């Protein structure tokens, strides 16, 4: 990790100064360069060969998304988008993640000097994680996922709980778009800010056969339903008689996050036991690993994304090393593995 080279691309001189100053103070980062737009950045990428690029979403002359696509096509490099916490910012950031960005840093304030303390730790953590990320060239639009078939059976209600972080938006899309409309209910915790999860749920709802929405307290989990934990809120599973429902609320961060995958998985272990499947996808850190172990101990089927297909093999690695993962599965086969396990559970 020693000797990282980072390029900051932002049309705001203030943002460039703050981000550069934060990065240069870390001993793991050898050098930092800055550029005011994509054209200057292009030349610096060729000469500087950065390990990570921090890229503004909105820039003059060439917007960040267009430039990102060019980077991923001609010189794939881990990119972290710097985005405002607005509805438009959320939509654009999701576009960036689809185009190949590893992660994003939300701009908490228009003046980064005011919001410096809020982003300092997150920036350094994400830059170091991005440096280890697997980045693949993106030269063509992805093919639509082939939707699988699930034969449902009359039995005790099953459910699927999924946790993810860095690289998770695209991983979730890969899994959820393959699940058919009659799949058991799905609960998802993805590390995202509050202003992003609603947009993310809406985007998935347009692509999936299942109905996808940002969770609200009292929502009933049933066949064909997917609930995404709201940003900055924990989501837990509850049960009343035969009815599964969700509850969202505040609370301290758990495993460094709110929403926390551990919080979701712990509640599923307690409420659903062996009627659940737990899935841990790409992400840095360890959130979800201990919760998945709880699910494993209560008889749930537990699956982890394998190292080769992860953008960041952090959360699944810790879960696997704890003994929480029954089977490691490549991302492209995760949906079919989930459905085969459901069929086995219901026969």
Q: What percent of the chain has pLDDT over 70?
A: 91
Which residue in 10, 51, 83, 191 is the catalytic one?
191
Q: Between these two residues, 90 and 20, which has the higher pLDDT value?
A: 20
What are the pLDDT digits (tens) for 42-93?
999 999 999 999 999 888 888 889 999 999 999 999 999 987 766 667 888 8
Q: Domains in the chain and their CATH numbers?
A: 4-131 (3.40.50.2300), 159-345 (3.40.50.180)
Which residue in 51, 287, 306, 326 is the catalytic one?
287
Helix-helix angle 64-74:87-99, to 10 degrees: 10
Active site residue 165: yes
What are the pLDDT digits (tens) for 159-212?
999 999 999 999 999 999 999 999 999 999 999 988 899 999 999 999 999 999
Contacts of 262 (CB under 8 A, 6+ apart): 254, 255, 287, 288, 289, 290, 291
Give the pLDDT confidence score for residue 262 in this predicted structure: 98
Give the pLDDT confidence score for residue 92 in this predicted structure: 86
Which residue in 83, 165, 183, 195 is the catalytic one?
165
Give the pLDDT confidence score for residue 109 in this predicted structure: 54
* 221 has pLDDT over 70: yes
Give the pLDDT confidence score for residue 152 in this predicted structure: 57
Taking the C-alpha atoms of residue 148 and residue 176, their distance in angstroms, rounded to an integer, is: 10
Give the pLDDT confidence score for residue 156 in this predicted structure: 59
What are the pLDDT digits (tens) for 29-44?
999 999 999 999 999 9
Q: Name the pLDDT band for 251 (thresholds 50, 70, 90).
A: very high
Active site residue 287: yes
**Token pair in block for residue 140:** 């063509």
Helix-helix angle 261-271:289-297, to 10 degrees: 10
Taking the C-alpha atoms of residue 171 and residue 205, their distance in angstroms, rounded to an integer, is: 15
* 291 has pLDDT over 80: yes
What are the pLDDT digits (tens) for 100-125?
999 998 875 555 556 677 688 889 99
Give the pLDDT confidence score for residue 142 in this predicted structure: 56
HSE of 205, CA atoms in CB hemisphere, 13 A: 15
């Amino acid at each position: 990790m020693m000797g990282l080279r980072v390029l900051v691309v932002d049309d705001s001189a203030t943002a460039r100064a703050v981000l550069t100053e934060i990065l240069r103070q870390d001993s793991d980062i050898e050098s930092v360069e800055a550029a005011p737009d994509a054209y200057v950045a292009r030349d610096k990428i060729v000469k500087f060969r950065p390990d990570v690029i921090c890229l503004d979403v909105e820039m003059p002359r060439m917007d960040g998304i267009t430039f990102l696509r060019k980077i991923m096509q001609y010189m794939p490099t881990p990119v972290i988008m710097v985005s405002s916490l607005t509805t438009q910012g959320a939509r654009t950031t999701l576009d960036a993640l689809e185009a190949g960005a590893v992660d994003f840093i939300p701009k908490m304030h228009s003046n980064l000097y005011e919001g410096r303390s809020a982003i300092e730790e997150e920036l350094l953590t994400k830059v170091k994680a991005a440096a280890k990320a697997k980045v693949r060239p993106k030269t063509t639009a992805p093919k639509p996922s082939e939707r699988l078939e699930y034969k449902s059976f009359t039995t005790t209600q099953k459910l699927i709980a999924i946790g993810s972080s860095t690289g998770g938006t695209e991983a979730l899309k890969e899994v959820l778009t393959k699940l058919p409309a009659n799949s058991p209910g799905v609960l998802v915790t993805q590390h995202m800010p509050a202003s992003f999860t609603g947009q993310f749920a809406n985007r998935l709802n347009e692509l999936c056969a299942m109905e996808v929405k940002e969770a609200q307290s009292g929502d009933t989990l049933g066949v064909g339903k997917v609930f995404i934990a709201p940003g900055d809120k924990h989501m837990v599973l509850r049960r009343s008689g035969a009815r599964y429902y969700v509850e969202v609320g505040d609370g301290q961060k758990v495993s460094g996050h709110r929403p926390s995958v551990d919080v979701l998985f712990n509640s599923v272990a307690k409420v659903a036991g062996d009627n659940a499947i737990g899935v841990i996808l790409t992400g840095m850190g360890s959130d979800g690993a201990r919760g998945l172990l709880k699910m494993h101990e209560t008889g749930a089927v537990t699956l982890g994304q394998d190292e080769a297909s992860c953008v960041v093999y952090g959360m699944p690695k810790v879960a696997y090393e704890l003994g929480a993962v029954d089977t490691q599965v490549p991302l492209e086969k995760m949906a079919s593995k989930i459905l085969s396990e459901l069929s086995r559970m219901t026969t």
